Structure 1
Amino acid sequence: MSDLPRLTAAQAAARLGVKPESLYAYVSRGLLSRERDASGSSFDPLEVEAFALRRRRVTPRPVEPSGGGMPLMVLDTSLAHLEDDELFYRERSAARLARDSTFDDVVRWLWDAPVLRGPDEAALALARGTVATLGDAVTPLDRLLVAVTAFASSDPLRDDPSAEALARVGARLLVGLPAALTDLVPSGTPIAQTLWAALARRPREDGARLLDAALVLVLDHDLAVSTLAARVAASARGSAYAIVTAALGVFDAPLHGHASRDAVRMLRAVQRGESPASAIARAVRDGGRGIPGFGQPLYAGGDMRAVVLRELLAAAEGGDAIVALMDAVTAEVARHAVTRPNLDLALAALVLWGDMGEDAGAVVFAVGRLAGWIAHAKDEFEQKPMRLRPRGRYVGPAAAD
């Protein structure tokens, strides 16, 4: 039997979303192989993952309008769009912005805000003190959520539902949240530099610059579920704090904000000397959600955000060793499945390069995406209130006669 970590029959069936009977039907048809010993059948995680990816390649069914209204989950947006596998924020290339601009500059342009005014010292001290009371068991996203509440509690205008309040509170949070996680930098320090001081345990000359690029690249990406939550809260005319809290609640999930964590664990295993094949197989077996850091259905030729971050890492001091880990894992995945690295693998590589905690990628993602949530909220405030209130269609059991 192979020395690689393997899936039990139950794990393989769960990964494919089928019953055990269907799994063994695939085996009998020669679509999957298995090994058997005294403990039962086991399956190669990489073979199962490749099979799962092949099964997934179907043309999605068009969504039919219900009751003459707009098709479900289709919204007009003037913020981010994809064209020829390139991401654009309005008319500007996200890749070029990431390479040439700071995150602060991009946010000011996107929000049409001349300055990003952070919280005053009293509000910042309250947020830092509140975060400091949390134990080590909480996640970094828990700390951000608590800090949002702390900033709201010290804002006398926190319930202001106006469009003008969105940029004011957005700047207060965007500047204040990274500062609430560290007291190592003075007020007025750029956002990426503050966040680097809060997360990185290894000094890097280009650290803040690469973090700037990462924040720009995660700012917006079509209508992700957290962005939709922000727009729903904005449709109900929630305050800016309520909008960000709603978005963070959806973001704090393994299939969204935490997706880079398993990729960090996988790359760190390879960094410690485990073979790429073994690290990937273990990640697939333990995560149960596919290969961490691979696959992005919105791109035909691969996630351009991962490409940009990889290029910047490769050019940075000490980045070549981290990029080599990415490339080794990518080459091994390519031997088994047609899927390419996504943003989460690149964030994981950035986390390793800065010697950050395994959840640091989620914090970078959340801070960068917060700028997008506010931009979407500003857009939603220009629409009719409560327009994002769908109607349910009952499909339960019929009433008894």
Structure 2
Amino acid sequence: MSDELKRGLEGVLVAESELSHVDGEAGRLVYRGYDIEELARGASYEEVLYLLWHGSLPTREELDSFAAELATERDVDDDVLETVRMLADAGEEPMAALRTAVSMLSAYELEPDSDPADLEATLRKGRRITAKIPTVLAAFERARQGEEPVAPDGDLSHAANFLYMLTGTVPDDVSEETFDMALTLHADHGLNASTFTSIVIGSTMADVYSGVTGGIGALSGSLHGGANQDVMELLYEVDESEKDPVQWVKDARADGRRIPGFGHRVYKVKDPRARILEEKLRDLSESSGDTKWLDYTTAIETYLTDQGLVEKGIAPNVDFYSGSVYDSMGIPLDMYTPIFAMSRAGGWIAHMVEYQENNRLIRPRARYTGPETAEFVPIDER
């Protein structure tokens, strides 16, 4: 057994998966063999969930049945909604509120005593979690605004229903399509930190609520799920400065500041998800007549590309455009990462089930660096 230390487990293979693959050199992401561009443009988020959970794209009949089952699970118990309201009133962060609410959902599970080894039951529970997260998040945001929650509409898609519950207005076609694409783009991405957290929890044969709650906790960290918010804060700062965006970036870099949304642990070229969201930002800008964020991001990307960052493997990632897309749809800044969790929960569930099919408890080692011996002294003599 090698004693070589691999900090962050970089380069260490710990599992095999059929779910998703990231080719960082080519800038390619696939879910079960399908290019993300094809899925984002041609399939709904519900189809992608079916693909991740069941191994193939659904037929029309299978999709209709699956989407209907998902829609019937959207209602959340009043006690959970009251807790969400209390957390909003207390000023809790959205990701922390979501973590608490998802954990609490298990108290109202329809199959509370099912064996974690029953993977079909795990998928049914996962479907309920996935359906209810949008309801929780929309209720939390409305509570912060002093408004009552909007009941889910079973006739709307997963994406449209969230925007409806958030705003009280059925979204237009461009917004629905864009948000659906964003959910698909974030549904899975290999063995990232939050997915690995969910798998580790699942490997103990803990229930799926524990795994999703753990995934939310991991995603809440600033090194994982918060970069889209960082990008948007940068764009706000550029706008408030009234400087040309390129000049602002020049000054920021001269001051030693890092530009968020550029660079990725895996991708060495432009993130394929960024290319798609850039197109949707263009559609949203044309629809609204407001091209400010599109103009800023395009100018910044062009400048940094001309400076040779992409040649050094520091290219735009998905976060560089997702924040602008969400802002264009009127979504609050600190809801960006919770929306990431809303989408990625589907991937966490798929990975937990896949790993548990051939489960082995994940139990790595640490190299001990403490003293070899220490003399014990009774407490009264210390």
TM-score of Structure 1 vs Structure 2, range by shorter chain:
0.7 to 0.9
Of the candidates 12, 18, 29, which is equivalent to residue 78 of structure 1? 18
User: C-alpha displacement at 1:282, in angstroms?
Assistant: 8.2
Name the residue aligned to 2:133: 177
Q: Which residue of 270, 286, 303 corresponds with 1:332?
A: 303
**Residue deviations 1:51-78 (CA, integer Å, cap 9, x gap):** xxxxxxxxxxxxx8459xx984542111
Query: Once superposed, what is the RMSD of the aligned Cα atoms?
Result: 3.0
3-state DSSP of counterpart to 2:333: coil
> Which residue identity does 1:373 align to in structure 2?
W
For 1:179 and 1:213, locate their aligned partners in 2 and report how far apart those are by CA, in whole Å. Answer: 19
- Counterpart-to-counterpart distance in 2, 1:359 and 1:85: 28
How far 1:345 sits from its partner (Å)? Answer: 1.3
SS at match of 1:211: helix
Choose which of 65, 85, 92 in structure 2 pairs with 1:132: 85
- Map 1:2-401 onto structure 2 (within 5 A): 65-66=2-3, 72-83=12-23, 84-112=26-54, 114=62, 115=66, 116-117=69-70, 123-134=76-87, 135=89, 137-158=91-112, 160=114, 161=116, 162-180=118-136, 181-182=138-139, 183-184=149-150, 186-188=152-154, 189-199=156-166, 204-272=172-240, 273-277=242-246, 279-280=248-249, 290-316=258-284, 317-318=287-288, 320-334=291-305, 336=307, 338=309, 339-386=314-361, 388-399=362-373
- Measured at CA, do residues 130 and 369 of structure 1 come closer, stay the same or move farther in structure 2, by a change above 3 Å? same
Tell me, in whole angstroms, the C-alpha distance in 1 between the residues paired with 2:339 and 2:99: 14
CA gap 1:282/1:157 in 2 versus in 1, 3 angstroms? farther
**How many angstroms apart in 2 are the aligned matches of 1:297 and 1:219?**
18
Residue identity (%): 28
Quick one: distance in 2 between partners of 1:355 and 1:389?
Answer: 44
Give, as a single letter, the amino acid of the residue that structure 2 aligns with 1:232.
V
Secondary structure of 2:187's match? Answer: coil
Count of residue pairs brought into register by the alignment: 334
Question: 8 Å contact 1:226–1:250 — kept in the other structure?
Answer: yes
Between the aligned partners of 1:158 and 1:229, the Cα distance in structure 2 is 22
Contact 1:86 1:304 in 2 (8 A): yes
Residue of structure 1 in register with 2:378 after alignment: none
1:233-266 C-alpha deviation (Å, 9 max, x unpaired): 1110110101101111111100111121111111
8 Å Cα contact 2:94-2:338 kept in structure 1: yes
Helix, strand or coil: the match of 1:254? coil
Equivalent position SS for 2:296: helix
1: distance between equivalents of 2:167 and 2:327? 9
In 2: Cα distance, 1:208 partner to 1:185 partner: 18
Gaps of 5+ in 1: 1-63
**Residue pair 2:71, 2:131 contacting (<8 A) in 1 also:** yes
CA distance in 2, matches of 1:97, 1:195: 20
Work out whether residues 295 and 341 of structure 1, in 8 Å CA contact, stay in contact via their aligned partners in 2. yes
Which 10-residue stretch deviates more, 235-244 or 102-111? 102-111
Contact residue 261 and residue 361 of structure 1 kept, 8 A: yes
Structure 1 Cα separation of the partners of residues 150 and 42 of structure 2: 26
* Between 293-302 and 219-228, the greater mean CA deviation after superposition: 293-302
Q: Secondary structure at the match of 2:164?
A: helix
Q: Distance in 2 between matches of 1:331 and 1:262?
A: 19
Deviation at 1:329, TM superposition (A): 2.0
Contact 1:118 1:176 in 2 (8 A): no
Corresponding residue SS for 1:253: coil
- Decide which structure has greater helix share: 2
Structure 2 segments unaligned to the other structure (5+ residues): 140-148, 376-382
- Deviation, structure 1 residue 385: 3.4
Secondary structure, aligned partner of 1:117? helix
Give the Cα–Cα distance (whole angstroms) in 1 for the partners of residues 253 and 176 of structure 2: 32
**CA shift for structure 1 position 217:** 0.6
1:353-387 deviation per Cα after TM superposition (whole angstroms, max 9, x unaligned): 1122112221221111100000100111112331x
CA distance in 2, matches of 1:121, 1:200: 17
The structural deviation recorded for 1:187 is: 3.6
Q: Distance in 1 between matches of 2:77 and 2:247?
A: 45
